[in-house]
């Protein structure tokens, strides 16, 4: 599927449904071919594992189909990691050799860790001891940002996999000191970014969240308050740090006296945004509703707030990260199956542009395009001509030929939409701001010109405030048992069951309680006469 690299990377099942595992003599098989891997050889020769890790990183961007066989290097790494010493060797290899420059590097670390067997608490303690994590470790390796970045990615991934008591064991004083010391401004923004993400993952366990919040509050000045100022930085790496620091302050490590970011937003002439009520579970939406970011291991998706069904429309997306994102168009029927890797372009109700793997997606089928891989700062243009039944994507004003696939199955109700692989981010412009590369040969409309939002719809609440509001909502005692919105005022005849509103009752043919055919509906007032 489009973004389902995690599914593509899964080792194939044996005939009995089990995954290939190292047995006592080191033999394992995949797909019927038998390979012999001696785990001890790889443990003694880490350079061989390094080679497998780099081969996997090189091959992963070519995986586009869930039925595609995973790379042999991936299968080998999975089998090596099936033993404790092998797992340590694989993890340490990723820490040492995944390069800073590859946009898929952190995502591949996450995917490999997610596919490897879940480590025991003792094994994770061994990893931390072998790395000797501490504030001094940061000082000793301050000129090795790739090493620091990869360690942060690994521990963030492990914190997510081991949420709960095991995650508490992982967050030792030394590990926390390591992560917090990285938040100093002199470190590489990429290293700071993944330290923030690791702290966020550890905070999924409530005890860890309290510990981190107390330690951060004790620092002077509070590093998160300083880092959130980078949200408007001209450099895209710094922008990511600002985004994540601000998100942590709004959602996790709230500082007393600091207003929530949404309270200071300028919503003037903002008529269309990303719909925070129409998004998959773990996608982060910025307080202005125009930026989205995924730091989860799943494939997260979102639609905008305004659908179109006729005319010609255009919007732009500024690329903040250069990894796998699928950006384009979707209807309300498009599926957001984040854990299965289904996103925009993975059904017949959507179409997407993938600038990392240089692909176009429709109905989970990919075809290559000729525009170079996108980079931070590039601007993707998306034009939808409903009347002409065509879509045109462009990068920095360089257009691809028109695409008509989407209109073979749907013709109305199109939303701007996008899906994000791990650690990816972009910013949308629906027309409130001037476009950078607007089409010059086609008249078009902007979403912002025709859309509308109420004051309440413009507000993207922090998660804990939103959850508290949901908890405070209660169903009224006299509410309809079907919609819970309107008052229950109807009695069904002949069975006499009650608890339905007039709107729901007229849609029923049988009583939902006893399955008796409904002959008539009577208001409770009439019934009392």
Give exposure, 315-339, as e/b (b: 16+ Cβ within 10 Å).
bbbbbbbbbbbbbbbbbeebebbbe
Question: Looking up tokens 């931070």, which residue turns up?
Answer: 376
Instruction: Identify whether the C-beta of residue 516 lies closer than 8 Å to the C-beta of residue 510.
Output: yes
Chain segment 134-154, per-residue pLDDT in tens: 999 999 998 999 999 999 999
Q: Do domains 274-461 and 470-529 have the same CATH topology?
A: no
Q: Would you place residue 175 in the very low, low, confident or very high pLDDT band (cuts 50, 70, 90)?
A: very high
Look at the block and give the residue holding tokens 């408007």. 232
> For the domain with range 470-529, which CATH number is right: 3.30.420.40, 3.30.40.10, 3.40.50.410, 3.90.79.10?
3.30.40.10
- Quickly name the fold that domain 274-461 has: Jelly Rolls (2.60.120)
Mean pLDDT of 68-74: 79
- The confidence score (pLDDT) of residue 65 equals 59
Average pLDDT across the chain, whole number? 88
| pLDDT tens-digit map of 438-459 | 999 999 999 999 999 999 999 9
- pLDDT tens per residue, range 202-258: 999 999 999 999 999 999 999 999 999 999 999 999 999 999 999 999 999 999 999
Residue 484 Rama label (left phi>0; alpha psi -120 to 50; beta): left
> Each residue of 487-507: b (16+ CB within 10 Å) or e?
ebbbbbeebebebbbeebbee
Mean pLDDT of 80-104: 93
Which tens digits make up the pLDDT trace of 266-312?
999 999 999 999 999 899 999 999 999 999 989 999 999 999 999 99
What local confidence, expressed as pLDDT, does residue 477 receive?
67
Map out the domains of the chain as residue ranges. 1-101, 118-258, 274-461, 470-529
Structural contact between residues 42 and 48, judged by C-beta atoms closer than 8 angstroms: yes
Q: Is the pLDDT of residue 426 over 80?
A: yes
Task: Tell if the pTM clears 0.85, that is, is over it.
Answer: no
* Tens digits of residue pLDDT in 324-354: 999 999 999 998 888 788 899 999 999 999 9
pLDDT classification of 20: cutoffs 50, 70, 90 = very low
Rounded average pLDDT over 429-437 = 98
């Amino acid at each position: 599927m489009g973004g389902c690299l995690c599914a593509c990377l899964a080792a194939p099942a044996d005939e009995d449904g089990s995954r290939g595992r190292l047995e006592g003599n080191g033999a394992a098989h995949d797909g019927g071919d038998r390979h012999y891997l001696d785990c001890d050889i790889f443990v003694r020769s880490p350079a061989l594992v390094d080679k497998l890790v780099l081969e996997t990183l090189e091959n992963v961007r070519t995986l586009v189909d869930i039925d595609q066989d995973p790379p042999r290097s991936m299968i080998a790494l999975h089998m090596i990691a099936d033993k404790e010493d092998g797992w340590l060797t694989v993890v340490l290899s990723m820490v040492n050799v995944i390069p800073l420059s590859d946009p898929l590097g952190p995502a591949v670390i996450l995917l490999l860790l997610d596919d490897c067997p879940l480590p025991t608490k003792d094994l994770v303690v061994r990893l931390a001891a072998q790395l000797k994590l501490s504030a001094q470790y940061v000082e000793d390796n301050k000129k090795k940002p790739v090493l620091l970045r990869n360690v942060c990615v690994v521990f963030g991934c492990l914190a997510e996999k081991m949420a709960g008591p095991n995650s508490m064991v992982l967050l030792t004083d030394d590990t926390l000191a390591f992560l917090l010391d990285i938040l100093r401004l002199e470190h590489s923004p990429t290293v700071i970014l993944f330290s923030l993400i690791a702290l966020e993952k550890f905070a999924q366990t409530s005890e860890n969240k309290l510990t981190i919040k107390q330690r951060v509050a004790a620092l002077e000045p509070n590093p998160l308050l300083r880092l959130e100022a980078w949200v408007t930085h001209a450099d895209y790496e710094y922008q990511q740090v600002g985004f994540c620091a601000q998100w942590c302050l709004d959602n996790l490590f709230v500082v007393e006296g600091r207003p929530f970011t949404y309270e200071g937003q300028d919503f003037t002439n903002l008529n269309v945004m990303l719909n925070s009520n129409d998004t998959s579970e773990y996608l982060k939406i910025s307080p202005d509703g125009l930026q989205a970011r995924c730091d989860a291991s799943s494939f997260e998706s979102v639609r905008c707030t305004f659908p179109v069904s006729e005319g010609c429309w255009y919007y732009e997306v500024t690329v903040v990260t250069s990894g796998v994102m699928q950006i384009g168009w979707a209807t309300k029927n498009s599926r957001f199956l984040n854990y299965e890797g289904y996103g925009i372009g993975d059904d017949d109700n959507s179409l997407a542009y993938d600038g990392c793997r240089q692909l176009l997606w429709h109905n989970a089928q990919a075809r290559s395009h000729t525009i170079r891989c996108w980079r931070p700062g590039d601007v993707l243009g998306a034009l939808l001509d409903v009347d002409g039944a065509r879509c045109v994507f462009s990068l920095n004003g360089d257009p691809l030929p028109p695409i008509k696939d989407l209109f073979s199955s749907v013709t109305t109700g199109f939303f701007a939409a996008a899906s994000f692989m791990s650690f990816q981010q972009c910013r949308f412009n629906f027309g409130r701001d001037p476009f950078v590369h607007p089409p010059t040969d086609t008249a078009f409309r902007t979403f912002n010109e025709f859309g509308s939002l109420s004051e309440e719809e413009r507000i993207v609440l922090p998660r804990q405030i939103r959850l508290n509001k949901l908890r405070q909502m209660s169903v009224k005692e006299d509410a309809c048992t079907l919609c819970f919105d309107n008052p229950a005022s109807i009695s069904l005849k002949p069975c006499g069951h009650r608890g339905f509103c007039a709107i729901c009752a007229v849609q029923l043919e049988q009583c939902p309680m006893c399955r008796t055919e409904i002959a008539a509906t009577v208001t409770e007032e009439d019934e009392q006469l």
